[in-house]
Amino acid sequence: MTADLPPFLDRIKAETRAARDRLAGELFALDAVRAAVGAAANKGQTMAPIRPPYPVDLRDTDAAQAAVNHLKDSGLKVAWEGYREEWEGRQTDGWELQIVWVF
């Protein structure tokens, strides 16, 4: 018997959260975010979108919130924009961070 295992739903929720935290930690590390902004600026652009490699909602992760706070404190404008794309054969919703600077 597997009585010592946590309930399946609790385990799946924890795994989902951990996966989102790992992805957000990579995607929204401050060095990565600053590099994305710098790369866009070097091309003459005034906006840098950061979109996860697949549709997922990372808005509530600590890494995303820290990046948003850093960008706002630095004077940039940020917004989350939803998008829908086909992923693994079905329409799936995701969110990308849009970072904007204007003259």
In the prediction, which pLDDT does 3 show?
63
Does the structure show a pLDDT above 60 at 2?
A: no
In the predicted model, what is the mean pLDDT of residues 16-45? 98
Q: What whole-number distance in Å separates Cα of residue 67 and Cα of residue 29?
A: 7
Q: What whole-number distance in Å separates Cα of residue 36 and Cα of residue 100?
A: 12
Summarize pLDDT for 39-98 with one digit per residue, the tens: 999 999 999 999 999 999 999 999 999 999 999 999 999 999 999 999 889 999 999 999
φ, ψ (nearest 5 deg) of residue 99: -110, 125
Select from 30, 21, 44 the least CA-distant residue to 74: 30
Give helix 62-73 / helix 8-27 axis angle, nearest 10°: 30
In the prediction, which pLDDT does 59 show?
98
Amino acid symbol at 13: K
Task: Please give the C-alpha separations between residue 51 and each of 1, 9, 28, in angstroms, as whole numbers.
Answer: 43, 28, 10
In the prediction, which pLDDT does 87 show?
87
Is there a contact between 28 and 67 (Cβ–Cβ < 8 Å)?
yes
